[in-house]
Amino acid sequence: MNKFLEQWGEAANTTLGFFWMAVWAFALGYLISSMIQVFVTEKKMQNAMGKDQRKAVLLGTFFGFISSSCSFAALASTKSLFKKGASFVASIAFLLASTNLVIELGIIISIFLGWQFVVGEYVGGILLILISWLLIRLINPKKLIQKARKNLSEKDEDDDDSSKSWKKKIKSEESWAKVAKQYGMEWKMVWKDVTVGFTIAGIVAAFVPDSFFETLFINTGDGNTDFGFFTILEHIIVGPVTAFLTFIGSMGNIPLAALLFGKGVSFAGVMAFIFSDLVVFPVLRINAKYYGWKMSLFILFLLFTALVGTSLALHYGFELFNIIPDASQVNIQEQEFFKIDYTFFLNLAFIATSGYLIYLGFFKKKDLMYMKEMAPKSKLLESVLKYAALVCYVWLAGGMVVKYLIN
C-alpha cells in the first residue's frame, strides 16, 4: 500500500512538472497561431495559391506552417481550402504542415526531447508532404477526388473582414479581441487532450515497468543506434498503433514520446508516434464525414505509408550523419521541475499575457462574435475525454496530497 501511495504521489508530481515545463510554450505557440488565423484568412490563402500545382504545394506547406497545430482546426481549414478550389495535393500539404511543421509543436519537442527531434519533426514534416505528393501522382485518384468534392456542401463560408489588410487589422482593438477569442478557443480545443495525455505520461513514468515496453517494442534497451531494419520497422508500426489507441493529439503526446524514448524505443519509432496525430480514429471519422469513407480510407493509407517512409528515411539519414540522439539525454523523470529558472519567469509572463487576453476577449469585448470553423467532433468521444480529464484532476489533487501531506 505504501508503495502504491508513493508511486501515486510521484505520478501526480511528474504530470504537473511536465505541464509546468510546457506552460509558456503552449501559451506562446497558441498566441502566434491565433494571431495568424485572425490576420491571415483562408480566402487570402486560397487566392495566393493560384493554379500552378508546385506553387500551390509550396504555399500550402507555408500556410500550414503558420497555422494551428490542433488537428480539428487543421481538418476544418483543409476542407475549406479544398472546397474553395485548392488541389487535393495542396490541401494534403496544408494538412500535414499545419500539424507537423507548426512553431508551438517544435517548442514543446525541444523542451522534452531535444534538438535532434526538432530537426526530425521539421525535416520529417517536409518528407511527409513530398512522399504524399509522389504517392498521389503515382496513384492519381481522380475519381475519388471528384467524388470528395461532390460530397462537400455547396455553401461557402465567408471571411467577414477578408478585404481588410493585415496592417489595418493589427492596429484594431477589435482584431486583437478576435485574437483573444481565438486564443481561448485554442485552449478549449486542447485542454482535455493535454490533461489526459500529460496524466497518462505521469502514470506511465511511475507505474509501468520497463519490461512492458520491451514486450510492446521488441529489442528495446540495447541502445537506440543498434537496431536492425525489422526491429525499426516494428517500432514504426507499433508507434502509430499506440497513438491510435490513445486518441490524444500530438501536443499532449510529447511527454509520453519522451518517456518511450527513455525506455528504449528507437528514434524512428518515437518519430512515428509523434507523426501519428492524423492516423487516429477521430480523424478517420471526420474525413469520412467530409469526403466519404473511400476517400477517408485513402487518406489514411496515404498518410500511414508516408509516415513509415519518412520515419525510415529519418533514422538512416540521421545515422549517416551520426546524429541519432542518445536515450540518456532524455531524463525528464529525474528533473527538478519546480525551481526558479527561465521557465519560472517565462511562465509568469505568459500567464499574465493570458490573463490580459481573457480580459480583452471575454470581458471588455464580450459581445464580439468570432468563431473559426472547426471539424465536427464526436459527442461521445468528447464526453469521454471530458469526464476522463475531470477524473485526472481528482487523481492529481489526491496524488499531491499524498506526496506532500501524507508521505
Q: What is the pLDDT of residue 98?
A: 85
Question: Is the model's pLDDT at 359 over the cut of 50?
Answer: yes
Q: What is the pLDDT of residue 156?
A: 47
Lookup: cell for 173: 482593438
Q: What is the pLDDT of residue 331?
A: 59
Say if pTM beats, i.e. exceeds, 0.85: no
22 vs 137, more confident? 137
Burial 172-194 (b: 16+ CB within 10 A, else e): eeebbbbbbbbbbbbeebbebbb
CA dihedral 298, 121, 224, 280 (to 10 degrees): -30
Least trusted range by pLDDT, from 183-192, 200-209, 216-225, 255-264: 216-225
Q: What is the pLDDT of residue 369?
A: 62
Q: What is the pLDDT of residue 167?
A: 65
**Cβ contacts of residue 153 below 8 Å, gap of 6+?**
83
135-191 residue pLDDT tens: 999 998 999 998 888 877 544 454 455 555 656 777 777 888 888 888 888 788 778
Q: Helix 2-39 to helix 173-207 angle, to the nearest 10 degrees? A: 160
2-21 residue pLDDT tens: 888 888 998 898 889 878 88
Identify the band that residue 215 occupies on the pLDDT scale cut at 50, 70 and 90.
Answer: confident
Q: CB of 123 within 8 A of CB of 135?
A: no
Identify the band that residue 130 occupies on the pLDDT scale cut at 50, 70 and 90.
Answer: very high
SS (H, E, C) 349-370: HHHHHHHHHHHHHHHHCCCCCC
Task: Give domain limits for the chain.
Answer: 2-151+164-406
